[in-house]
């Protein structure tokens, strides 16, 4: 069954190709780009009128912690930098249970999808004795929501007793982590829209052995690797004191300076380190809201991109954002990078490319998503610019960022409508908010 998404107000394909007459989707795939004023040559059964809509590739979020939606604007963590912020929150996160994981995952997925995200990513690294199936719960939910996902089996193994930052209640042994990682790598091979990466949390919460062995295990299964790196000056000091190395040198010694790795943040790199990252082909997820909120610093996105690093965007958090809205994150990246490099250096289209094809490249999914082109999966976001804030806007594509869009009208993932008229069909948002608020209250109690 083919559908012509007909005559959009504007189409941004993410490539030099034009699709001003819309596109034809058959099954899960884009099969034709239609020129302005033309009709498709592919036979189609349905047409979908898009004449008031802006059509883009679905957005890609490369870094998040869904569970942190439960500790947003959390009193013990307000007005703190990263290390103090983490120390304030670890004791609350140690109380996460199955319901907390389920409801925070559902809420974050809903927020991301309603902001136009078709490929989501989560970095879950808090496990306890009573919570060893967090990723299993998330796998079930991304399947139910029908969204493309890269989930990660995160980990923390370096507690305070061994010189790390997290309390012992939230760390696991290297063996437990590796066994569970392998179990999940086998399990996820059965899923259609979800992939799994391994993601030891950070240099200050994971042993060097676990970094090395996670890399070996991920490579055995062809999975990606992910971690936080170069987020703050505190982390630089930690690495210099503990390893006598800067964070990137440490990463290299544990076998992670490689194209199968993407890093969250990537702020505190010097010129030489930026060149090494580019040569090795790593990806970096820029998280502007989190970096501004925690006062961590500014990621040198343009220099990294020029060196050959793949750039994606991530909402991070949500206790350091404190939202999961991908469109708002695009605007933050646009504003922050302009402030950092100058207005002429950063265009709205460049930011859109980080949030689509760039993110897809970071997550190694660029062969099938992140662009509107024939043969790509039908992951599409359609926006309507009829709110007060868009009135008078001359260029609809620029208006998306400049006027501060925050909501998608329709979202298609893998050929299926997952958001229609601003709603996720079958999802009771009121009930979800009620469950989520109850779970957040329980953590704070």
Binding site for Zn ion (CB under 5 A): 264, 316
270 half-sphere exposure, CB direction, 13 A CA radius: 6
CA-to-CA separations, 133 to 97, 124, 191, 349, in angstroms, rounded: 10, 11, 17, 40
Q: Which is nearer to Zn ion, 7 or 61 (CB)?
A: 61
Nearest to 150 by CA among 140, 158, 139: 139
Taking the complex as a whole, the smallest distance from the CB of residue 317 to Zn ion amounts, in Å, to 7
CB of 406 to Zn ion, least distance (A): 21
Instruction: Give min distance, CB of 392 to Zn ion, in A.
Output: 37
Judged by CB, which is closer to Zn ion: 174, or 316? 316
Q: Which residues contact 136 (CB under 8 A, 6 or more apart)?
A: 184, 187
Q: Judged by CB, which is closer to Zn ion: 63, or 410?
A: 63
Tokens 């990682």, located at residue = 181
- Buried-state track 93-129, b at ≥16 Cβ within 10 A, e below 16: bbbbeeebbbbbbbbbbbbbbbbbbbbbbbbbbbbbe
DSSP conformational letter for 355:
I
Q: Which of 284/385 has CB closer to Zn ion?
A: 284
Considering the complex, what minimum distance in angstroms separates the CB of residue 294 from Zn ion? 10
If you compute the radius of gyration of the chain from its CA atoms, what whole number of angstroms results? 21
State the minimum distance, in angstroms, from the CB of residue 210 to Zn ion. 18
Spatial separation of the C-alpha atoms in residues 362 and 309, rounded to whole Å: 9
Strands 194-200 and 148-155: parallel
In the complex, minimum distance from the CB of residue 263 to Zn ion, in angstroms, rounded to a whole number: 10
Give 33 or 264: the residue with its C-beta nearer to Zn ion.
264
Per-residue tokens: 82: 């990263």
Decide: residue 406, CB within 10 A, 0-12 exposed, 13-18 middle, 19+ buried. Answer: middle
Closest CB to Zn ion among 264 and 411?
Answer: 264
| 3-state SS, one letter per residue, for 192-256 | CCEEEEEEECCCCCCCHHHHHHHHHHHHHCCCCEEEEECCCHHHHHHHHHHHCCCHHHHHHHCCC
Q: Which is nearer to Zn ion, 56 or 287 (CB)?
A: 287
Which CB, 264 or 381, lies closer to Zn ion? 264
Residues 6+ apart with CB under 8 A from 142: 105, 109, 120, 149, 151, 193, 194
Minimum distance from residue 228 beta carbon to Zn ion (Å): 5
Q: Say which residues have a Cβ less than 8 Å from residue 91's Cβ, sequence separation at least 6.
A: 167, 169
Beta bridge partners of 285: 264, 312
Closest distance of CB 108 from Zn ion, Å: 13
Go through the chain and tell me how many residues it has: 445
Which residue has tokens 């959390």? 74
Q: How far is the CB of 77 from Zn ion (least distance, A)?
A: 14
Q: Could you give the maximum distance between any two Cα atoms of the chain, in Å?
A: 68
User: Closer to Zn ion at the Cβ: 265 or 409?
Assistant: 265
Nearer to Zn ion, 86 or 264 (CB): 264
* Min dist. Cβ of residue 124 to Zn ion (A): 11
Residue closest to Zn ion, measured at CB: 316
Least Cβ distance, residue 318 to Zn ion (angstroms): 10
Cβ-contact 229, 251 below 8 angstroms: yes
| Residue 185 vs 264, nearer CB to Zn ion | 264
């Amino acid at each position: 069954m083919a559908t012509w998404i007909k005559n959009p107000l504007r189409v941004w394909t993410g490539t030099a190709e034009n699709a001003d007459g819309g596109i034809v989707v058959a099954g899960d795939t884009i099969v034709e780009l239609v020129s302005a004023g033309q009709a498709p040559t592919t036979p189609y059964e349905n047409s979908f009128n898009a004449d008031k809509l802006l059509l883009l590739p679905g957005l890609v979020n490369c870094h998040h912690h869904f569970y942190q939606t439960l500790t947003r604007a959390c009193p013990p963590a307000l007005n703190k930098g990263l290390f103090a912020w983490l120390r304030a929150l670890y004791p609350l996160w140690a109380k996460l249970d199955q319901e907390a994981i389920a409801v925070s995952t559902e809420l974050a997925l809903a927020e991301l999808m309603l902001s136009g995200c078709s490929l989501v990513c989560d970095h879950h690294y808090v496990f306890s004795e009573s919570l060893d199936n967090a990723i299993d719960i998330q796998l079930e939910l991304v399947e139910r929501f029908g969204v493309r996902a890269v989930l990660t089996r995160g980990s923390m193994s370096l507690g305070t007793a061994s010189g790390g930052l997290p309390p012992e209640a939230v760390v696991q042994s290297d063996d437990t982590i590796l066994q569970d990682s392998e179990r999940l790598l086998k399990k996820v091979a059965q899923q259609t829209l979800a992939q799994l990466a391994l993601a030891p949390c950070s240099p200050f919460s994971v042993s060097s052995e676990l970094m090395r062995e996670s890399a070996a295990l991920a490579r055995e299964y062809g999975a990606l690797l992910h971690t936080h790196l170069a987020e703050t000056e505190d982390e630089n000091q930690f690495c210099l004191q503990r390893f006598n190395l800067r964070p990137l040198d440490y990463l290299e010694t544990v076998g992670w300076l490689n194209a199968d790795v993407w890093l969250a943040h990537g702020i505190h790199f010097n010129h030489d380190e930026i060149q090494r990252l580019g040569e090795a082909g790593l990806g970096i997820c820029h998280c502007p809201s989190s970096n501004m909120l925690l006062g961590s610093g500014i990621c040198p996105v343009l220099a990294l991109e020029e060196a050959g690093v793949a750039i994606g965007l991530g909402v991070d958090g949500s206790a350091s954002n404190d939202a999961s809205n991908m469109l708002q994150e695009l605007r933050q990246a646009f504003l922050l990078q302009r402030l950092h490099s100058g207005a002429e250096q950063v265009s709205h289209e460049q930011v859109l490319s980080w949030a689509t094809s760039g993110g897809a490249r970071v997550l190694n999914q660029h062969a099938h998503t992140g662009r509107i082109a024939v043969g790509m999966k039908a992951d599409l976001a359609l926006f309507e610019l009829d709110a007060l804030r868009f009135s008078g806007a001359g260029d609809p594509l620029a208006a998306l960022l400049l006027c501060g869009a925050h909501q998608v009208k329709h979202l298609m993932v893998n050929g299926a409508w997952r958001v229609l008229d601003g709603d996720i069909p079958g999802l009771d948002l009121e009930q979800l908010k009620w469950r989520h608020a109850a779970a957040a209250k329980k953590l704070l109690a």
